[in-house]
A and B are shown apart, each in its own frame.
Chain A
Amino acid sequence: MDAILKVSGIGKRFVLHQAQSAVLTVLESISFALFPGECLVLSGHSGAGKSTLMRILYGNYLASRGSIRIRHGGEWLEMAGAEPRQTLALRRHTIGYVSQFLRVIPRVTALDVVMEPALLRGCARKTAQSKAEALLTRLNIPERLWHLAPGTFSGGEQQRINIARGFIAPWPLLLVDEPTASLDETNRQVVLDLIAEAKAADSAIIGIFHDRSAREAIASRFLNLESARAHTGGESFHAA
């Protein structure tokens, strides 16, 4: 099977104009390819750039250099320099992302938050709603919360809403940033099952997990961002 994602020579520097234009080099020359059905786990110490790399892959951060090609609707699309509507089309159909924290929108109910990605892909409302309800049930979100806006939910409840949202559609590429971080053992296991099912359905997954046993249960491969940097002769952060 052909790769879904080809990353080559990705680097990321932040230039902090508010702080005497200090330069923070976070990633230097990351390269890898990812195939359907694989789960690549990003590792490295806190601040190594795991979330940064994931955000670059989602188009939320700009890469400072390098190329990211992704297979979308049977064609390869270069994300570096892509137009906003191309990135948005990728997000609608090809790349799913479970961010670490839910972004709450006033007046939008939990059920609507979860259904949204399916509706944006053209899924019928009925279908989207029954999928959303099934996921919320599976993630042990009590039915009385479904029609409330998640602004007042607990941290773990918000995270589970976010996870349901991420798993409502069958993404060719799914990015998950610490999805089990504030969950109890039961819900943690549900999330690991969801990831395993997505893998079995040929999604390619990139994940960040602090929890070692989760990592080992899920990973097909690891990418250590520190050694990736060391390997290419980079150094740790420096300010210019």
Chain B
Amino acid sequence: MSALSCDTLLESRARRRADADEDSPENFSEATTPRPAWAAESPLLQAEHVTRLFGPEQGCQDVSFTLYPGEVLGLAGESGSGKSTLLAALSGRLLPEAGHVRYHDGKDWLDVHAVGESRRRTLLRTEWGFVEQNPRDGLRMSVSAGANIGERLMAQGARHYGKLRQAALDWLRHVEIEPARIDDTPGSFSGGMRQRLQIARNLVSFPRLVFMDEPTGGLDVSVQARILDLLRNLVRELKLSVVLVTHDLAVARLLADRLMVMRRSRIVEAGLTDQILDDPQHPYTQLLVSSILKV
């Protein structure tokens, strides 16, 4: 998938469907059931004993996990448990005092904290995305919606004005923003629209790995449902790998394949999302699950 092309999501969808047409399995003979994918696939991101503490149990400590392509990993836990700190350490924004984070760029393993500022910035603009909790932090508020979406493509060398504009129009449609708003600045958008614009701005370059910090926090429930639906579809269509911070277990249930539960800077339980929510083992997870009505 060339990040340089202004390939639309619909085209990439159509391509995937055409692929699927060739091998649609009508029965389950062993010839058609694929060999287990985990036999061959290389991980995308690997965290080893990642630690960054601002005080006793404030921050994150001894966090290890492996993320595979196409996986959505949820990070849940109470306020102050260290979710945002961990996300910052994983994405290279914050230097851990111990441990490593490695990213596989398709060819080699890179140490996220040792690659140097310029390589890391390139990663953040091309193969990675970062959706901030507050869209103000992730958007350029002074330029138009279209320019916000086009920025990553331009950073990657796209110059053709017509194509940039077309990509922006396509992505406004994907995130259900009226294309006529393309020349408006985000300042004139509602909170939900800003969040959808931030999502478009990040996904336009088809990143492989996206970090999200409470992407639906602070929004009305009805607006939340729309964004969750959007994210759920995009994650699948684009086969994105995501590390998603949320304190909302219903959001985790909807979007995350796997869940890690954080408490006081440590991961207390990790596993398949529905298993963690329906059969929690750790006392803290049981408390967390039982204190909400129904997820």
Q: A residues within 8 Å of B by Cβ?
A: 14-18, 55, 59-62, 72-75, 77, 83-89, 93-94, 105-108, 119, 121-127, 170-172, 201
Contacts and interface: CB of A to CB of B under 8 A. Distances in A.
A93 B34 contact: yes
Which secondary structure dominates chain A's binding surface?
A: loop
A72 B28 contact: no
Interface string B167-207: 00000000000000000000000000000000000000000
A108 B233 CA distance: 10
B286 interface: yes
Interface residues of B, number: 39
Contacts of A126: 21
A84 B257 CA distance: 8
B37 interface: yes
B20 A124 contact: yes
Nearest to B253: A103
Contacts of B17: 124-125
Contacts of A172: 28, 33
Contacts of B36: 72-73, 75, 77, 86, 89
Contacts, number: 101
A123 B258 contact: no
Contact of B286 (A18, A85, A123): A18
Given A62-B275, A122-B25, A172-B28, 17 more contacts: A15-B281, A17-B282, A59-B275, A60-B279, A62-B279, A74-B35, A84-B257, A84-B271, A93-B34, A94-B28, A105-B229, A107-B229, A121-B25, A124-B21, A124-B24, A125-B17, A172-B33
Given A73-B30, A124-B21, A127-B24, A84 B272 contact: yes
A105 B225 CA distance: 9
Contact of A60 (B25, B28, B71, B275): B275
8 residue pairs, one from A and one from B, having the closest CB atoms: A17-B283, A61-B279, A84-B272, A124-B21, A73-B33, A106-B225, A84-B258, A107-B229
Contact of A170 (B20, B27, B228): B27
Contacts of B21: 124, 126
A18 B290 contact: yes
B161 interface: no
